[in-house]
Every structure is written in C-alpha cells, then in structure tokens.
Amino acid sequence: MPAKKTAKKSNGHHYDASSISVLEGLDPVRKRPGMYIGTTGPDGLHHLIWEVFDNSRDEAMGGFADRVEVALLPGGYVRVVDNGRGIPVDVHKQTKVSALETILTTLHAGGKFGGDDSGYKVSGGLHGVGVSVVNALSTHVIAEVHRDGGYYIQEYAIGKPKAKVKKVGPSKMNGTIITFQADESIFKEIVYDYKRIVSHLRQQAYLVKDMRLTVIDARELDEKAQKKLDLKGKQYLAEEQLEVPHMTFYFEGGLRSLVAFNNHYQKPVHKNIFYVEKQDIDPAVLSVEVALQYVDDISARISAFANNIYNPEHGTHVTGFKTALTRTLNNYAKKNNFIKEKDGAFTGDDVLEGITAVVSVKMPEIQFEGQTKAKLGSVEARGAVEAVFGEAFALFLEENPDDAKGIINKVVIAVKARKAAKAAKDSVLRKGALEGMSLPGKLADCQTKKAEESELFIVEGDSAGGSAKMGRDRRTQAILPLRGKILNVERARIDKMLASEQIKNLVIALGTAIGDVFDVGKLRYHKIIIATDADVDGAHIRTLLLTLFYRYFRQLVEEGYVYIAQPPLYKIQKGKETWYAFTDAEKFGIVGEDDQTDEGVEDGEAEAIEEEVEETTKKAAAKFRIQRYKGLGEMNADELWETTMHPENRLLKQVTIEDAQDADKVFDILMGTDVASRKSFIQSNAKMANLDI
C-alpha cells in the first residue's frame, strides 16, 4: 500500500484522463492469448506479473514513485502496489468511462502512449500489451487508486467491470494497487515460481536507482492471518511483519551494484568498478548508463537493457560500447607504452575477455528488431553510448592508474594467449578437419543424412555404448560413447579443449565446428541426447557436458537441440508381466505401498531378503521381482531401446536457458575455482537434490 508521502514529481507534468490515448479494443485477447503474452504456459503466466509491475516501475522511472511491492497471495492472487500518482479516475473523453476503466479494458491504453509531455518520457512497456491483457486473462481483478485526496475501487470479472469506479472514502495517500487472479481456463497451471519472480525483480531494482522493491510469498498464510489482514486500501504487506518468505531490494549504486552482484563469485583484476551515467544527451537518447569491471576469467559477460527491457541479443547500444572500449584501451596502451607498434593493436575479442559489463539506454522512441525485444535496433543509441562511454572511460583510466594497469595487463594476457593458441586452433579448425570425412572411429553414425530426423546419443562408457549401438534405430540414431569424465571447460581455452580427444570427437561429430567458425547450419543432428547413468558419476558427467554446451555451443541449447535422456530406475516383473518405473513413486504405484521394503531387490537376492524381513514382505517379494538399474550398461539392448531410445516410449527432457544470467552464475559456482562458494551453494541446495548414492 502506498506510503503517505508521494515520491518526487517532475515539474510541468499533468496526469489525468486526457493523458490516456486509446489504440485498439480488448476482445481478441481471450481468443488468442498467445499473440499477446507469448504462451499460456509458465512464461505467459509470469508475464502477467511483469505487465502489472512494469506500470509501477515506469512510475518510479519517471520520478513519481519510490516504492513498489509484489505479493503472491492465497487463492492464486497476485498483488502489485506502488506509491505513484495513482491511475486517473476522471471520465475519458473518447471512451466516456473513467480513465481507470479505459486502461483496464482497452488494449494499449495508457499514459505511455500520450502524445504530449503528460505521460512518461521513458517507458519500459512502450511496446507492451498493458494491464488490460492481464484483466482479460483473469477471473477477478481489483483495482484500487489513492489519488487527489480520495480512495477509489473497481472490480472486474474476465475483463468486464462489475460496476463503475466507486469512491470509497478520503485518503491522504497516493498510488495504485492491482490485485488479479489468473484464469484457470486459459493457463495450463497456475503455479508461480517465487525464485523466478525474485530474480527478475531484483534485476529491475538495480536498473531503477532509489526504488525500494519488496517481493513477498504470502501464499501459505493461515486463515487467522488472512482474516487479520484486510488488504483493501490498506498498507503494504511488508509492514505487517508476516512470517512468510520476502525480500526487499534497494540499490543506490544502480548498475554499479549490478556488476558487483554479477562478479560475486569472481576474482576482480582491478579494484574500482567503472561507472558513468549521463542524461538528456539529445532528444533521441535521454540517458546512457554503463558499468564494468574485469575479472580473472576468459568469458565476457555483457548485459544490455533498453528502457529497462533486457536485450539478450544486445544491439546498437552494445555495438557502440564495444567500439569505444576497443579504441579507448588501444589509445591508452599506446600512449603509456604498454604495447609496441610491431605487436599490433588489441582486437575486439582481446578487450572483451574477462569483462563484466552492463549497458543501459533510455529513449523516448525505441525500436527493437523483432517482437521479442531481444535486440535493440535504434541507430541513435550507438553514437550516444560510444561518445558518453568513450569519454568517461578514458578519464577513468587516467585518474585510476592502478585500475588501468590491471585492465591492460588482463588484455595483454588475452593477446598472448590468442597468439599462442592460434597455431593449435588452426590445425584443428582448418577447412575440412571438422567435417564428415573425419568422423571419429568411436561414433556409430546413423544412415540418414537429414539433420532434422537424426539423433546423437552421447552415452557413458563402452558398455552402455555397446547396448545402445545394438538396440538403436540405425537409420536415425547415432551413438557416441565417452570414456569417463570429459575436461571441465569452464576456464579452458579452445586450443586446450580441442587437445582433449573426447571433446574433439564430439565437436567433429556435431559438424558445427567451434569458436569463431561455429556454424549452426552445419549441425548434423537436431536431437543431441545426453544419456548418462542415474548415479553421482553420471550426474557429474552430465554437468560437464552441459558446461561444454552452455559455454561453447549455447546456440544449440537456445534453439532446443539439446536433451537429457531419462532411463528407468527399476524393472519390475510379476509372472510374465513387466513394468518399468522411472521414479520411486511409480514403483510404489506398481507394487503397492506395502512393498516399499523391496527396493533394491535384484535377481538372485530375493532369498536373502526373505530371511531378514517380516512375513508380509516375503509375500510381496514372492509376487514381484524388482531390478534396480545402476547404469545403462546393465540394460540389455532391447531394454535400452524399449525404455530410453524408442521415440514412442522414451522420456526426454529438453535443456533450456530460462535466465542466462542465473545459469551463468550457477556454472561459475559449480564448475569454477571458488571452493568456498561451491560448498555453500551445495549446502544451501542439498535438500532439492535427488541423488542416488
């Protein structure tokens, strides 16, 4: 609920019904929800929260609010509160109903579309679909407004207002509260991921300095607490001191704080984090903000934002940043005799090695390439970032000689490594070396040459490889057995990786090459299936392979080519009948709860167990023969085919990257050199692990 004091307001702005422009109606949303939120799965469900939150965040970006709260409530409700100006409630001239009702029932209606200075100068949701889509896809919405000394409320059912806006009473506060309940008939499952919400909103808190953002999971509130808590028109849940999971974010440092957070598990090579922010650059670019720090690593981590929208494919603002970075470091290095003329200049790749950077621009008119907003296309952003960052970074290097020396030394090491690796890399990556004529002898290739119907099974050991080769469909399924654990590539350069026979064999089998000559169009298999044993060693090998794919073949993961096979844990027989169980729960469902003590019974062990257990368990053991598979190599060829390789029977998990930054951090922790962080991570997440030891 809004605080009693409103955040600072920009001078000269009026905000009432005349500020709201209307672009189109709402009717199509329920017919084709995917067109507006992408999917009716988990991504689309969480998108509802982002749409409502973005309105509150835009109030904070405009200087009208300094506090936002997002709460998950019992009954599938979500509540978003800010202490901004409050949505206008006066009558809109075009729609003849209140501005509040117009915003909630008309697609693309909002202050951010106003043609004058009454709306937002910058809006993260400029091309968004707005809170009206949330209303259309919810069974129940409650909109509450504190504004102009009054408290107003209006409720909606499936996008339709139950009644007109009603003034409930006086109020000394300002702000908006939107509470919604997603429609079960639209979404496959109404389950919100609290950690995902926290991760997304934490990032937004870094991007809006001085915004206090609280996230609360109050879904498990008991009845007594619910009755005590009257939500309508009242205070923020955070002030109720509820005993529920909650997190509050407030970052005065903005992007500087985000770089420090991203480098938490890294070793910096210089002390001070570079930071610059410049506003009102020109009418096309209102602000440029950049922060960076180099760490002892070989990967580059650049996060890009335009109007607070994350751009995973970067765009013109990052192009300007890279250009200025390369030029500025070269100028400084030459001026201070760190490099000689004969050594040549630093390349773009040299200066990016080990960098953690965040680039953010805010623009009144913004253009993205495609509907996903993954890549910024506004040409004005390139020149603005190049000029602002280049000037400030050159000054930073001059004023901080120790930091400059650390950065230059890091780049020089990258140059030396590049030159030393070039001969070894070229010998492996030379034309033809990674193409089909040189397929490794361990690979049992498939007969078809059509990549779209070809599958590559990466299996653990020759024993599993033998069963897989015998049981496979030779026309479409290829088998590549691995010998033990592959190299941990988290901090390995390409030349060292390709010195590993196993990784080299895998790269050759894939056909895409690697590094700067990687070409996804040459991929030989459109399903790459990791099939390891269901034990700790198998999990380790799987993690090593996923590290390889994430760091050097990320496009294969992003485009959905990588899968993990799910072999059964148990083979259960009763007379002539046979079942396969993939989990303990499935096993218990087959043999019955009374037979749980049979776990681990294998061929020839029933007699020994019968001597140790009660009479009831003896009968159960006599009824069922339960074999616990310890590895794929224990399966006969026909068993492996029937359970793990047959397209109609098998269970595959597709590997996705829901949040690349979070994934990057987890790989740093698990596969990096910081033992203390890895130990802490494992201890914190041990309860979630499903281990077979």
Catalytic site positions: 460, 533, 535, 537
CA dist 233 and 228 (Å) reads 14
Write out the H or E segment, with its range, that includes residue 527.
strand 527-531
Which residue is it, tokens 């009558």?
A: 91
Cβ–Cβ contacts within 10 Å for residue 91, how many?
A: 15
CB 599 within 8 A of CB 587: yes
CA dist 650 and 192 (Å) reads 29
Helix, strand or coil, per DSSP, at residue 337:
coil
Helix ranges (DSSP H) in 592-674 = 606-610, 615-623, 637-640, 660-671
CA dist 424 and 4 (Å) reads 67
Q: Pairing state of beta strands 212-217 and 67-72? A: parallel
Go through 474-486 and write b for each residue having 16 or more CB atoms within 10 A of its CB, e for each that does not. Answer: eebbbbbbbeeeb
Q: Which long-range contacts (CB under 8 A, 24 or more apart) does 532-536 make?
A: 532/459, 532/460, 532/632, 533/460, 533/464, 533/630, 533/631, 533/632, 533/633, 534/567, 534/569, 534/629, 534/630, 534/631, 534/692, 535/630, 535/631, 535/692, 535/693, 536/691, 536/692, 536/693
Nearest to 312 by CA among 672, 54, 667, 664: 664
DSSP letters spanning 551-596: HH-HHHHHTT-EEEE---SEEEEETTEEEEESSHHHHHHHH-GGGG
Which residue is it, tokens 């109404």?
A: 190
How far CA 212 is from CA of 86, 176, 196, 258, 657, in Å, comes to 18, 16, 19, 15, 29
Cβ–Cβ contacts within 10 Å for residue 558, how many?
A: 16
CA dist 509 and 545 (Å) reads 14
CA dist 178 and 87 (Å) reads 11
CA dist 439 and 431 (Å) reads 14
Q: Round the CA-based radius of gyration of the chain to a whole number and report it.
A: 29
Q: Pairing state of beta strands 285-294 and 212-217? A: unpaired
DSSP letters spanning 72-93: E-GGGEEEEEE-SS----SBPT
Phi (first) and psi of residue 156, to 5 degrees = -135, 150
CA dist 459 and 483 (Å) reads 9
- What tokens were used for 373? 């907003």
How far CA 640 is from CA of 100, 539, 568, in Å, comes to 60, 19, 9
Torsion, CA 4, CA 10, CA 13, CA 14, rounded to 10 = 0
